[in-house]
Amino acid sequence: MWCMGKAEGRRSQLLRGVLDLCLLAVMGDGPAYGYEMTKRLRARGLSIVGEGSIYPVLGRLERDGLVETHRAASNGGPPRKYYSLSPEGELALEAGVSEWQAARDAVDGALGLVNAEVMP
């Protein structure tokens, strides 16, 4: 039970650190409104259930000028706010992916070292 709680907490913290990057990445598929991005994330294997909402992250991305927004009618529904990558957002995505890969490789290396010592 304790391990499950710790694992969920760690997953939540890890996701919180890269959720903005993931949102920028799914926007690369084309403009999307809030819930549409949630569905794109889910389709890529990332569920936010149990995690925080994406709306504050979208708000921050908009405030930082990394996304552009416009209103348009959705499929038979009310007008929605669509988010798309701005030029600054594309650069931020590119840099963020490099940072993530570097961090992931470093952590992989550290974890691999631990495994080698504990499990010969």
Partner 1 sequence: MSEFVDECRREWRRLGVPDPVASEMAADLTADLEEAEAEGGSPEDVLGNSAFDPRRFAAAWAAARGVTSAPTPEGPSLWRPPFAIALAVLLTVLTIGAGLALLVGRSSSSIAFVSRRIAGVPGPFRLFAPGPGRVVVPGPVGPFMARGVAGIDLHPLGLLVFMVGVVGLGLFAVWYWSPWFGPRRYHRNGGRRTPNWH
Q: Report in angstroms how near the CB of residue 93 gets to partner 1 at its nearest.
A: 19
Q: Which of 9, 55, 98, 101 binds partner 1 (CB under 8 A)?
A: 55
**Phi/psi-derived region of residue 89, left when phi > 0, alpha when psi is between -120 and 50, beta in every other case:** alpha
Out of 48, 84, 90, 100, name the contact with partner 1 by CB under 8 A.
48
77 binds partner 1 (CB under 8 A): yes
How many CB atoms sit inside 10 A of residue 49's CB?
Answer: 6
Pair 28, 93: CB distance under 8 Å: yes
d(CA 40, CA 16): 17
Among 80, 89, 93, 96, binds partner 1 (CB under 8 A): 80
Question: Which residues of the chain form contacts with partner 1 (CB under 8 A)?
Answer: 33-35, 38, 48-60, 62-63, 74, 77-78, 80-81
